[in-house]
C-alpha cells in the first residue's frame, strides 16, 4: 500500500460517519514540538488512523504511529537511533464533562463544535507521550565508556593527576585521612 503525505486537517465527524481510514506518513522535520526533544530532524513517521463509531456510540479514532528517530544518549550526549511506536484509542468529545464520562479504554480528544482536527498536532502529542524520558546507548556502544577506558587514572589518595578525567576534581575534593 502506497502511503501519502498526512493531510493537514480533517473533519473528524465526517470521517467517523464515513468510517474512513488514513494510511500516511509525515516527515519528522515538519513536527516542530516533537523535534524539540530529538537529536536531529531526520526521518519520517508512518501513521495509520481509523475513524469509527464504537458500540457504545462514541466517535472514535484508533491509531498507530511508528518512526525511527535520533535522540540524545544521556551518558555521552551523542545521537542514538530509537524506534518510537505509539498506539492510541481516542474518543472525540466537545466538553470536559464529556471527557470525564468516557470509559477508561478511551482517551479524550476535545474538539470545538465546528473545529477541524489538525492531524499533525494529534500525531505530535502521541509521539511525545511515547518518547522515552531518557535514553542510553548500550554499554558496549556508548562513547563515555570508550573515553573512560582511554583516560589516565587519577591517584585519589595522593591527589595527583596522571591524566585529565571527569573525576580528577573529585579526587582533589575528597578529604585525606
Kindly state whether residues 109 and 57 are assigned to the same domain: yes
Kindly state whether residues 78 and 107 are assigned to the same domain: yes
Q: What is the pLDDT of residues 10-54, one digit of tens each?
A: 999 999 999 999 999 999 999 999 999 999 999 999 999 999 999
Compute, in degrees rounded to 10, the torsion defined by CA atoms 144, 139, 173, 156: -100
Give the domain range for residue 167.
143-173
Q: How many domains does the chain have?
A: 2
What does pTM read for this prediction?
Answer: 0.77
Kindly state whether residues 126 and 147 are assigned to the same domain: no
Task: Report, as ranges of residue numbers, the positions in the chain whose pLDDT lies below 50.
Answer: 147, 151, 154, 156, 160-161
CA–CA dist 16, 126 (Å, integer) = 20
- Residue 59 bridge partners (DSSP): 53
Amino acid at each position: 500500500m502506497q502511503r501519502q503525505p498526512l493531510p493537514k486537517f480533517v473533519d473528524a465527524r465526517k470521517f467517523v460517519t464515513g468510517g474512513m481510514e488514513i494510511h500516511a506518513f509525515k516527515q519528522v522535520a515538519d513536527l516542530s514540538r516533537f523535534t524539540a526533544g530529538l537529536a536531529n530532524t531526520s526521518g519520517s513517521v508512518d501513521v495509520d488512523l481509523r475513524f469509527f463509531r464504537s458500540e457504545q456510540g462514541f466517535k472514535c479514532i484508533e491509531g498507530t504511529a511508528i518512526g525511527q528517530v535520533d535522540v540524545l544518549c544521556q551518558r555521552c550526549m551523542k545521537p542514538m537511533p530509537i524506534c518510537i511506536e505509539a498506539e492510541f484509542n481516542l474518543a472525540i468529545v466537545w466538553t470536559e464533562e464529556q471527557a470525564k464520562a468516557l470509559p477508561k479504554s478511551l482517551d479524550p480528544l476535545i474538539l470545538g463544535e465546528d473545529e477541524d482536527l489538525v492531524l499533525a498536532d494529534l500525531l505530535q502529542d502521541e509521539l511525545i507521550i511515547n518518547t522515552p524520558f531518557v535514553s542510553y546507548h548500550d554499554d558496549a556502544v556508548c562513547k563515555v565508556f570508550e573515553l573512560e577506558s582511554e583516560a589516565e587514572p587519577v591517584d585519589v589518595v595522593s591527589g595527583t593527576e596522571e591524566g585529565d578525567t571527569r573525576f580528577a576534581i573529585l579526587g582533589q575534593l575528597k578529604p585525606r585521612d
